[in-house]
Amino acid sequence: MKKLSLSFFLFSIVCQALQAQDTLPKFSVKNVGGNRIIISWTNTFESIKQISIQRSFDSLNKYKTILSVPDPTTPQNGYVDTRATNDHMFYRLFILLDKGVYLFSNVKKPVLDTMESIGKKDRLDANGLKDSLANLNSGLTPIDAKNKPLGFVASKYIYTYKDGYVKIDLPDSEKKKYSIKFFDDDEFLFELKDIKEKAFRIDKTNFYHGGWFNFELYEDGRLIDKNKFYLAKDF
């Protein structure tokens, strides 16, 4: 009976977190205890290139990006912040849309999750809470925990798109010559030379597996961007 009660409690936490998400640029910030803050939202923008979570000690200054989500087009997404100095930090979202249009969300402080008030006998122990939050975070953001970089900012030129392809958007200049080198960690994979198209996509099957990949973008032989992108592990 205790196992059944615990399983139902975990299921309730996950469901409530998903249902409570707000539509961008609105978002939810919940304090679920144990120095864990859940930032979550629902995306209805048709064209979106980047969502970055930013955190600050006050509501106006010194915001620091703690994560740029690997796939900003995911309809329901979020992140569990376990590195906040305290539980009353301030959070906001930076949202980059098509054609360089961007906006900031309103600023929010964590709200105590009401699930914590159900009763002491139904509270999770430290390990149970840790496991449930880890499962929730992996469901909201499709990325291995060990590969989750803090402060990652996606490239505006090369990034993963909602259909699973790698999208390429190069500066529009007919006089420039572009080339791109792709790497699996430090291992060279392939290179695109003398690129004629300024906007195109690459099928993810060219990368053989999911995970992080590095790239170098050159303009007339000069390195102008060095970054990475994430491919979901569904192939």
Give the residue from 167, 164, 163, 168 showing the smallest Cα distance to 179.
168
Render pLDDT for 1-53 as a digit per residue (tens, 0 to 9).
Answer: 444 444 444 444 444 544 556 789 999 999 988 888 999 999 989 889 889 89
Same fold for the pair 2-147 and 158-231: yes
For the chain, the farthest-separated pair of C-alpha atoms sits apart, in whole angstroms, at 71
Return phi, psi of residue 162, to 5°: -65, -20
Q: Residue 150 pLDDT > 80, yes or no?
A: no
Give residue limits of the domains in the chain: 2-147, 158-231
Render pLDDT for 104-148 as a digit per residue (tens, 0 to 9).
Answer: 899 999 998 755 434 433 444 444 444 444 444 443 334 443 444
Looking at residue 33, its amino acid is G
Superfamily of domain 2-147: Immunoglobulins (2.60.40.10)
Tell me if 54 sits within 8 A of 64, measured CB to CB: yes
Tell me if 28 sits within 8 A of 38, measured CB to CB: yes
Tell me if 1 sits within 8 A of 19, measured CB to CB: no
Core vs surface per residue 63-100: b (16+ CB within 10 A) or e: beebbbbbbbbbeebbbbbeebeeeebbbbbbbbeeee
CA–CA distances in Å: residue 111 to residues 3, 37, 64, 67, 149:
28, 9, 20, 20, 25
Q: What is the CATH number of domain 158-231?
A: 2.60.40
pTM, full prediction: 0.46
